[in-house]
Structure 1
């Protein structure tokens, strides 16, 4: 597919985008043209992304009697269950130097944020293929709307984190603002991985079955509830998981307990950016083939 843009570009708030002429010529025949087209579409997608984000949020809670309350119900429920479990001395609930309720709620909120970012982007092509095939909208608008939706979902859960710190009388560290960088990394990793899997998810249904099991695997290989002691096979698996370093860094920067690996974080930041950029361009490259398959 070759993307040709007229010289006059329309405003980003207009949904009438420049006409794209499709051909059998490879998009990578001219890498410079391919990247320039991607950049132009990214600049022109803000208006559509905003409308799509507002529409998705409205649809998510439109027919719910409790509305936005459902955004933080799972995290609050985990806090209650952990409190009951600690009262009954359930041995698996180990929180280290902080109450297990605090450790568990932070883990659940971060895991939910990652999984939601992954699922939103992974299903983006399948969900909006009818728009991509029949209307002149950029895939970048869908991607940005997904990022905004993931960020909104975390902000709805943020009061639960504040409440759990207040309930257990934990004073946040002066570095708690930096913990938001960890949340950005979590959203970036989830979104990048979701975009990378989006073309495969739109062509086959096998990935949907894998994604249904993935949350349980994530809870096992990531320190969500339990502090794993060194010397076990699960500890080795967790230290190979990049999310482990981010989760522990967010906890450390928020309330000063635990450990932080600066080298791992400095490596994960550029890798997350590269993953996002590479997954975005990969989706853009695969889009003509996905549209062709959807119309067959």
Structure 2
């Protein structure tokens, strides 16, 4: 596994450059698509909040900045989850005809996730300047929490990638599941403190990772360090297990595709 991972670096780089170029080449708005969903969601919920349609509650930073920042983190998680699934599905022909380290497909998508977040980082810096959000020394730890969030998403995506390559139902179901999952994650509202819904949100493994990343970048105070480390361990061990399953399953996927 280690040898294949090391051997896949050059191919992964070429695939990443190709995918990023294709993603933005035929788009009029180009890189703006990386930040448009966060801006639209923030505008919608800010309008609803100010109009009294929804009662969001108090947030640590101005609400529009809260939603836009949280949405960029959520987008990054979803991209890391869908990346392996999309990579394997798109490379069916190449997988069936050419022998190469399959890890290259996942690494290429991981590189694309980090590239897209770099684009989103422009929006985040603009939010800090526009809303005058204070910066603390804990900001330097926020990338570590973000990496843990990406690891969790990649572990889920890598686990589902082989089955998704064979059955389109998985891809459609995952798209539907992530849409529902968004509202179980404190992206547009603070973490609930009580009730059944609050318990569900707290059990969501994305919650402590996303919230900790947001807190380290804004207030500098971590509200649930225990939950963060539990979710991080789930993501890390989940990635190792998913990697093994991915390697064991891909030969069968190739056989089914080739037949």
After TM superposition, the score normalised by the length of structure 1 is 0.81
| Conserved 8 A contact 2:138-2:217 | yes
SS at match of 2:183: helix
Match of 2:86 in 1: 123
Alignment of 1:1-296 (within 5 A): 38-256=1-219, 259-296=222-259
| Conserved 8 A contact 1:79-1:104 | yes
Relative distance call for 1:96 and 1:257 in structure 2 (3 A) is farther
Q: CA deviation at 1:123?
A: 2.5
Relative distance call for 1:258 and 1:93 in structure 2 (3 A) is farther
Give the structure, 1 or 2, with the largest relative contact order (CA under 8 Å, sep 6 or more): 2
| Conserved 8 A contact 2:139-2:220 | no
SS at match of 2:193: coil
Relative to its length, the structure with more helix (as a share) is 2
Q: CA deviation at 1:95?
A: 4.2
SS at match of 1:221: coil
Relative distance call for 1:206 and 1:282 in structure 2 (3 A) is same
Q: CA deviation at 1:215?
A: 2.4
| Conserved 8 A contact 2:143-2:213 | yes
After TM superposition, the score normalised by the length of structure 2 is 0.92
| Conserved 8 A contact 2:24-2:31 | yes
| Conserved 8 A contact 1:95-1:104 | no
Unpaired stretches in structure 2, ≥5 consecutive residues: none
Q: CA deviation at 1:102?
A: 1.9
| Conserved 8 A contact 2:60-2:219 | no
Unpaired stretches in structure 1, ≥5 consecutive residues: 1-37
